[in-house]
Structure 1
Amino acid sequence: MKKLISKQLVKYLEGKGVQHIFGLCGHTNIAFLSQLENSTIKFINTRHEQIAAHMADGYARVTKQASVVLSHIGPGLTNTITAIGTAALDNVPIVIIAGDAPSHYYGRNAFQEVNLYSDASQYEILRPIVKRAWRVERPDLFPEIIEKAFQLAENGRPGPVLVSVPMDIFSKEIDVRLFERLTYHNPKLHKPSIDQETAVKIIKTLKNAENPLFLVGGGIMLADASGELRDLVDHMGIPVVNTMMGKGAVSDDHPLAMGLVGFWGSKFTNEKVRNADYIFALGTSFGEADSSSWEEEYTFNFPPTKLIHIDIDPQEIGRNYPVEIGIVADLKQSLKVLNKVAKEMVPVPVQNPTLEKEIAANKEAFIQSNQEHIKNNCFPMRPERILQETREVLPKDAYITTDVGWNKNGVAQRFPIYEAGTVLTPGGFATMGFGSPAALGVKVAKPDRVVVSLVGDGGFGQNPAVLATAAEENIPVIWIIMNNSSYGVIAGLEKAHFDTTFGTIFYKDGKPYSPDFAAIARAFGVEGVKIESAEDFKPTLEKAVASKKPFVIDVSMVNVPTPTGGHWNIMDIYSPNEKKSHAVVSIN
């Protein structure tokens, strides 16, 4: 028996447990889209493909499953590039299904065909940033391609994949048995673990080390291994530092959690890292910001520090630093074995009261050093106060998405995260415009949780059409727009090194300018409040949480730099032999 591919594809996705598809219509994909009308799958209609892909990114990060994006040909697909690049660098599994030119019109300048490099070469657009890109050449190949796509996206090092589908393929009929045979295959593969001998070697090394520590990256969240990590930390009594992507893997209120490393990290944490004799790195790539541009006097110092490194991707082991013990394995499975071995080799949990006291004192000193800013009633508000009051209002299990600037770097430094995976940050790409749509995806996946997007005015201005989707679908996300009428971080850099802010501050008629984002929100049918004084912010946020509606809070913020305890080599490029970083930028 034969049926339309579009109809069978919907049934296939339902069988895989897909509950939502994010996307936008076009003449190349409506044959498939029409079949979704009576499906159990909810189609989330967006006003821009970048929004759809960022939503899918946020959704996949919290569900730990591949999400699905539906795209149109040409400009539809190219609109996803930034968001898919973000997902790729942060190892987020997404399956992009993109309509393409009809197969029988290849090379004839079919409407919106991508053919300058070669005929019907649309699928090559995303090749540099996806794990694999397929173009469906024959109808009968479609079932096995879509199955391979999901399996590849979710396994090994997760990431996005592309399936480019000539529009005529959607409307072809094929034997239903080609899809039905896929039901006999289990795409949930058993993941590699660590062997007993290596586990014993690691635990013995950590037991005998003088100043060991755990370095935790975003791979812990991808592997859903935070529980196993906490068990090992508690049993071995070893302190933990985290990269920006690893924040929250161990709760920030844990007595052995020291905080962020690298450029945005504290001097206390960076110094502890430099003086460690062994670092056990879990799911991290030792990126530039986390490693203070790999300059040994600031953060990591290999050697004399020795490195144990577990990652699912062999390319990451030894990429930036030499390893003494390198393991290619799944973190969750590995930590289960390590916990078992640790309890056998170290029967009594290790206590480390002296170090815990030192960590607690450092945390308290940091809190006290910020009290002046937290209690400051100035308006525009201090960013420290905005973050402090946001944390006070939100429940501990709330989800936070960040963008770039204070809302990202400041959150990583000083915003306590208590549950693993509840802060979503654009890590590798540091993508401006990620936070506001990603929050929608998170809320769709976790409707019972409070979801807040902390975003700058520059970032929110990238994708304001998120408000249309929020209103249409009634997705109650709260957007806190930390508004400094500028690209604040870059303005601070340019001011410090070149004594100008040209091109970084928004002006109109010679005066600082910002749209009234609260009014824009109301025009979209979303609640919006423009904060007029520091005292108004906290009660407005409490009102937003209680409303359970989409809500925009536009709050003016002074443009001061986020303090840094590490180093970023671009400073030396701008100003050789000078110790400059970011400057305060007065906008008036």
Structure 2
Amino acid sequence: MNKLLSHQIVDYLERKGIEHVFGLCGHTVIAMLDALEKSEKLRYISVRHEQVASHAADGYARITKRASVVLCHLGPGLTNAATGVANASLDAIPMVVIAGDVPSYYYGRHPHQEVNMHCDGSQYDIYKPFVKRAWRVDNPELMPQILDKAFRLAETGRPGPVLISVPMDMFSREIDEKLFERTYVDSQEVFKPGIPQETAARIAKQLIDAENPVIHVGGQVVFNEATEELKELVEFLDIPVTRSLMGQGALPDTHPLMVGMTGFWGTDFVNGTTKNADLILGVGTRFAEADSSSWYKDVTFNAENTKFMQIDLEPSEIGRNFPVILGAVADPKNALKVILEEAKKIVPEGIDRKELKAEIAKYKAEFKKSNVEISNDERFPMTPQRILKDVREVFPVDGIIATDVGWNKNGIGQQFDIELPSTIIHPGGLATMGFGPAAILGIKLAAFDKKVITLVGDGGFGTNPSVIATAVEQNIPVVWVVMNNGAFGTIAGLEASHYEHSFGTIFKDHKGESYSPDWAKVAAGYGIKSKRITSAAEFKSALKEALEADEPYLLDVPMENIPVPTDGIWNINDIYTPKENVSEGRLTSGEAKKSLHVTT
């Protein structure tokens, strides 16, 4: 029996257990919208900008741990969604993007909104730099195979987005339902790789024999739900843990062996822990620039004095930034489990490093003490530290926070305690403004029983306030906390520290006066509850009210534009004006280190 391809695609998504499709309409996908309208199992989440769709789908996938689905129009629809898809790619988040395209019989004739600068029918080339695979459907009979391949590829190995570009005439072709029979029997379950016991034994022995071992973890540990295995291993061997931004939540920030975040926004103690390690096991992390202080050898990591081992799902990441004495391509959950088994054979009684834990506890206590005064300061606009303190005191420990860019991300990564995995969602690799306000829509849909908020700067929120419309239309009760400093604050600080001015980063009107929209009034215009905070003392009760409202709510919180305190280093200015004591990315003196301190 023949059936429209669009309807068979919807049938396929239903069988896969997909519950939500994020997208925006366009003439190339109206056949799909017709099929979705008739579905009783799929909920179409319509947005006002495609970047909102891809960010929301990203947030959704981070909670469900499965590929989310984006449906978008050709040309501008596809390019609008690109930033969110690229963000998901750099953070290894699975996603299947289904995009309409021009009719196949019009390739190269400049049909409406066609992209064909270098070859005909080439729209899908736009996504090739940042998706795992891009398909163009030239034959509707191939769609069943393409769908199976797309979801399997998105979810396996190092996860990431894929693209299926579908000429609009293909959606309206009828094909035999028998062609989809393969999708009923083709299992999508793919077992993730582990490591042989022999390899695990070698890793365990290296960790046990090392004098100052460290386990450095990244986002793969959280996404692949390896947090319990990590906890059991480090507690058995008493090994300190450091993390990337994306690794926050892999081990509770309050755990006695969790040292903290390394790199740009790391403190001297945290960076010193990894710098002085004689052995580091990296698990599910790329040792990227942000986590490695631009790879300066005497700041966060030092390959001259430290041996590295690395476990990652992606073979190309092994040894990319630091030479390894042992690399393993494996799922962190499977690998850590076997390493613990082998460690117990070598040292059945485990290892106890009481002095180390005492040092970590002392550092944490001192760091918190150094923030007490500014975290309780009553001045207004509020200090960002006060905002974070009040949020932590009111927000439930199992609630989910999505950050964006600036204090809300860097400050949280550095000094906001997260107790449970997947309760903090950061835009890591691409660090995209506008991520948080949209991501929480998908996060809430995936975890409707949890409280969900975003902490976002006014610059980030201003990129796409239409997220509010989607929340209203779809009845998604989330809370936006706009940390409003009237600027692109992080860049303002960087520019001021390097060039002694803040041109292009502070929001001003044509007269040069400070300017910022009243986001509470903007939100009210969209028809949701909102409040502009007028004193530091008011914020905590307002946030509690917003969380209890169980409907979309926005808080506009005036905030002082002060830098995130950090001892970390970022090679930002030397890219353009190399200092005399910096050669090919290497620090050659203490003065160079001092000059490169990030003060934003």
Partner Cα distance (2:392, 2:567) in 1? 23
The reply on whether 1:514 has 2:526 as its aligned counterpart is no
Matched residue, 1:109: 110
Contact 1:561/1:582, CA 8 A, preserved across alignment: no
The reply on whether 1:562 has 2:558 as its aligned counterpart is no
Matched residue, 2:30: 30
Partner Cα distance (2:290, 2:8) in 1? 46
- Provide, for residues 134-163 of structure 1, a one-character-per-residue CA deviation record: whole Å limited to 9, x for no partner: 000011111111111101100111000000
Structure 1 residues without counterparts, runs of 5 or longer = none
Partner Cα distance (2:253, 2:310) in 1? 23
Partner Cα distance (1:108, 1:338) in 2? 59
Matched residue, 2:525: 523
User: Segments of 4+ in structure 1 off by > 6 A?
Assistant: none
Find the residue that maps to 1:28 and give its secondary structure.
helix
TM score, norm. by length of structure 1: 0.98
Contact 1:77/1:98, CA 8 A, preserved across alignment: yes
Find the residue that maps to 1:339 and give its secondary structure.
helix
- Provide, for residues 511-540 of structure 1, a one-character-per-residue CA deviation record: whole Å limited to 9, x for no partner: 111100011111111111000011111110
Matched residue, 2:8: 8
Matched residue, 1:270: 271
What is the number of equivalent residue pairs in this alignment? 584
Higher mean alpha-carbon deviation, 380-389 vs 562-571, is at: 562-571
Residue type at the aligned position of 2:363: N
- Provide, for residues 230-269 of structure 1, a one-character-per-residue CA deviation record: whole Å limited to 9, x for no partner: 1111111111000111011000111111001111011101
Listed as ranges, the matches of 1:570-585 within 5 Å are 570-573=572-575, 576=579, 579=595, 581=597
- Provide, for residues 440-464 of structure 1, a one-character-per-residue CA deviation record: whole Å limited to 9, x for no partner: 1100100011111010000000110
Deviation of the 1:583 alpha carbon: 5.7
Deviation of the 1:303 alpha carbon: 2.3
Matched residue, 1:550: 552
Deviation of the 1:33 alpha carbon: 1.2
Deviation of the 1:430 alpha carbon: 0.9
Matched residue, 2:82: 81
Distance 1:342 1:460, change over 3 A: same
Contact 1:470/1:476, CA 8 A, preserved across alignment: yes
Deviation of the 1:573 alpha carbon: 4.1
Partner Cα distance (1:347, 1:521) in 2? 59
Contact 2:312/2:331, CA 8 A, preserved across alignment: yes
Deviation of the 1:339 alpha carbon: 2.2
Matched residue, 1:297: 298
Find the residue that maps to 1:113 and give its secondary structure.
coil
Matched residue, 1:61: 62
Residue type at the aligned position of 1:333: N
Residue type at the aligned position of 1:429: L
Partner Cα distance (2:344, 2:67) in 1? 35
TM score, norm. by length of structure 2: 0.96
Matched residue, 1:215: 216
Q: Percent identity?
A: 54
Find the residue that maps to 1:291 and give its secondary structure.
helix
Matched residue, 2:494: 493
Deviation of the 1:409 alpha carbon: 0.3
Partner Cα distance (1:376, 1:283) in 2? 38
Residue type at the aligned position of 1:552: L
Residue type at the aligned position of 2:531: V
Residue type at the aligned position of 1:563: P
Deviation of the 1:580 alpha carbon: 5.3
Matched residue, 1:357: 358
Higher mean alpha-carbon deviation, 342-351 vs 35-44, is at: 342-351
Residue type at the aligned position of 1:412: G
Contact 2:214/2:240, CA 8 A, preserved across alignment: yes
Residue type at the aligned position of 1:109: H
Aligned mate of 2:541, from 528, 536, 539: 539
Contact 1:495/1:583, CA 8 A, preserved across alignment: no
Deviation of the 1:474 alpha carbon: 1.2
Find the residue that maps to 1:543 and give its secondary structure.
helix
Deviation of the 1:582 alpha carbon: 5.4
Deviation of the 1:571 alpha carbon: 3.8
- Provide, for residues 387-411 of structure 1, a one-character-per-residue CA deviation record: whole Å limited to 9, x for no partner: 0110110111111111111001000
Distance 1:212 1:55, change over 3 A: same
Matched residue, 1:72: 73
Partner Cα distance (1:375, 1:108) in 2? 65
Matched residue, 2:125: 124
Contact 2:566/2:599, CA 8 A, preserved across alignment: no
Partner Cα distance (2:390, 2:569) in 1? 29
The reply on whether 1:313 has 2:314 as its aligned counterpart is yes
Partner Cα distance (1:348, 1:549) in 2? 52
Listed as ranges, the matches of 1:232-381 within 5 Å are 232-381=233-382
Deviation of the 1:209 alpha carbon: 1.0
The reply on whether 1:504 has 2:505 as its aligned counterpart is yes
Find the residue that maps to 2:215 and give its secondary structure.
strand
Higher mean alpha-carbon deviation, 220-229 vs 314-323, is at: 220-229
Partner Cα distance (1:479, 1:205) in 2? 46
Distance 1:221 1:401, change over 3 A: same
Deviation of the 1:99 alpha carbon: 0.6
Find the residue that maps to 1:70 and give its secondary structure.
strand
- Provide, for residues 449-494 of structure 1, a one-character-per-residue CA deviation record: whole Å limited to 9, x for no partner: 1111010000000110000001111111111111110001111111
Residue type at the aligned position of 2:399: A
Distance 1:85 1:328, change over 3 A: same
Find the residue that maps to 1:280 and give its secondary structure.
strand
Contact 2:568/2:598, CA 8 A, preserved across alignment: no
Residue type at the aligned position of 2:482: I
Distance 1:307 1:89, change over 3 A: same
Residue type at the aligned position of 1:562: V
Matched residue, 1:45: 46
Contact 1:495/1:582, CA 8 A, preserved across alignment: no
Matched residue, 2:586: none
